[in-house]
Structure 1
Amino acid sequence: MAEPITLHDPDDPRLHDYTDLTDVQLRRRREPAEGLFIAEGEKVIRRAVAAGHEMRSMLLSAKWLDVMRDVIETTPAPVYVVEPGLAEQVTGYHVHRGALASMRREPLPAVADLLRTASAPGRGEGTARRVAVFEDIVDHANVGAAFRNAAALGVDAVLLTPRCADPLYRRSVKVSMGAVFQVPWTRLESWPADIETLRSAGFTVAALCLSDRSVTLDELAARDHDRLALLFGTEGTGLTPGALAAADEHVRIPMDAGVDSLNVAAASAVAFYATRPRTA
């Protein structure tokens, strides 16, 4: 355990990881390049640590020292104590949860390896049956919410296309309540050609969309596919033509009241629940 260090200078180089957290473009450049991500709040920090992420440092206001004492005692990483005003000056926003941690990113697994080993709690290693694929979802809050849905509703793994927002960006982690640490995930490298990797692993690929050939979600669920990959696109334009052409099935969620679609996070929750495996 390292003794907490009280800092008073917002330009102290030891606070570099926490500077300008509100600048999305800056974080997109810095966090992956520097191999870090930021966990905010007691629960999220604890879940990141429990998931095996190595802590680089922690930034706390004084009142959180006792709350986080057990975490502090088990990490060799430095713990910086600052006044709330200084934390706001450094980060660019009011740190109302009072606790931040800079965590080290782990290398992402290969898609084939993830599909071979990932599984939801209780299913046992190597028995993945449900996978979510998100194409070009750029809103961090939607990504975080979708991960939380995946964790809550038994999805074994999440795959992201190259342009998807970063699940480890601070807002994604916060909205997911740390669920991004619970669901195995990785990025696809050759999209939509990677759909063939899913198919080769025995998955039926079902694209959530509005099309002339789409079946209802109830129809898809009734088939109870042994291995099913659910593919979701952006709210604005939906899935790309290439992804739609490569999918095995087109699926729609029936709507009332003249509504044609749901937010991608809401749609994913409905689809995950409806298509959960009937047998273990």
Structure 2
Amino acid sequence: MAELVTVDDPEDPRLHDYTSLTDVELRRRREPAEGLFIAEGEKVIRRAWQAGYGMRSMMLSAKWVDVMRDVIDAAPAPVYVVDPAVAERVTGYHVHRGALASMRRKELPEPRELLAGDRPGPRRVAVFEDIVDHANMGAAFRNAAALGVDAVLLTPRCADPLYRRAVKVSMAAVLAVPYARFASWPEDAGLLREQGFVLAALCLSDRSVTLDELAGRRHERLALMLGTEGEGLSDGALRAADVHVRIPMEAGVDSLNVAAASAVAFYATRPGT
């Protein structure tokens, strides 16, 4: 059974994992280096625990102790019970949900390992290029989970999917979809081709086919490539692609937000359609 400890001092070193959660640059450096990520809210904490992530600690307001009792009893980690005012001073914001957990990261697989997988291996994957907005990252992962994408590949500059906001927006879907990060891009696009994937770039292009046409080809292994929120896919990624694909638009709109585009692409290419 976990130890319950009431903490009144926001400077208490035992709360170190939860300090300055609103400082994005600090947390982006600290969390991977220290092997942790923050789960916020009852549902996200439960899903992280159920997904097999180890727990370092929990920080709860008193009203959440009974609600989280089953997790507290199951997780061999200390539980710090704090007043909401203390939680705000520690984290830098008002913790509306009153429940935070510091979870242990898992070691990421290598892209080649992820793509090979157990037989038959992944058939449909997403490649996110330089997506740096954590909300878009979380939403795109949630779309991938909901619409049956087997795995996600990230380019080196992509945001951390385990950053608190990304995990929260995804409703913990980032914990359910296998993912890996390329060491070099677009050079590593060849790893996809080696495994028999057709690389389909979502873009505005003179030579693009419609999404319906791509879906109708029923490729055995398909990698859907989506680019940054502003500029879209890089020239290098477009050159690496086997096919350019567009989502037909009306009313003078030329493109969708990357998270919305991912949902449309994942739905249109799902197996059996």
Map 1:20-35; keep pairs closer than 5 Å. 20-35=20-35
Structure 2 residue runs of 5 or longer lacking an equivalent are: none
| Counterpart-to-counterpart distance in 2, 1:43 and 1:265 | 22
Match of 1:3 in 2: 3
Deviations 1:194-227 (A, max 9, x none): 1110011010000000011100001001101111
Match of 1:278 in 2: 272
Deviations 1:19-57 (A, max 9, x none): 000000000110011111000001101111111111000
Letter in 2 for 1:76: P
Structure 1 residue runs of 5 or longer lacking an equivalent are: 119-124
- Once the two structures are TM-superposed, the CA of residue 188 in structure 1 deviates from its matched residue by 0.6
Letter in 1 for 2:127: V
- Once the two structures are TM-superposed, the CA of residue 236 in structure 1 deviates from its matched residue by 1.1
Match of 1:213 in 2: 207
Match of 2:99 in 1: 99
- Once the two structures are TM-superposed, the CA of residue 235 in structure 1 deviates from its matched residue by 2.3
Instruction: Give the aligned length.
Output: 273
SS at match of 1:189: coil
SS at match of 1:10: coil
Query: Is the 8 Å Cα contact of residues 226 and 277 (structure 1) preserved in structure 2?
Result: no
| Counterpart-to-counterpart distance in 1, 2:102 and 2:14 | 11
Q: Does 1:65 align with 2:59?
A: no
Map 1:110-189; keep pairs closer than 5 Å. 110-117=110-117, 126-189=120-183
**% identical aligned pairs:** 77
Query: Is the 8 Å Cα contact of residues 140 and 169 (structure 1) preserved in structure 2?
Result: yes
**Which segments of structure 1 move beyond 3 Å, counting only runs of 4 or more?**
none
Query: Is the 8 Å Cα contact of residues 207 and 244 (structure 1) preserved in structure 2?
Result: yes
SS at match of 2:223: strand
SS at match of 2:67: coil
Deviations 1:74-102 (A, max 9, x none): 11110000011110110001111110000
SS at match of 1:236: coil
Superposition TM-score, scaled by structure 2 size: 0.98
Q: Which residue of 187, 198, 201 maps to 2:195?
A: 201
SS at match of 1:101: strand
- Once the two structures are TM-superposed, the CA of residue 126 in structure 1 deviates from its matched residue by 3.7
Letter in 2 for 1:69: R
Aligned-residue CA RMSD (Å): 1.0
Match of 2:84 in 1: 84
Query: Is the 8 Å Cα contact of residues 2 and 74 (structure 2) preserved in structure 1?
Result: no
Deviations 1:105-132 (A, max 9, x none): 11110111111227xxxxxx64311100
Query: Is the 8 Å Cα contact of residues 224 and 278 (structure 1) preserved in structure 2?
Result: no
- Once the two structures are TM-superposed, the CA of residue 278 in structure 1 deviates from its matched residue by 1.5
SS at match of 1:66: helix
Q: Does 1:230 align with 2:230?
A: no
Query: Is the 8 Å Cα contact of residues 36 and 104 (structure 2) preserved in structure 1?
Result: yes
SS at match of 2:272: coil
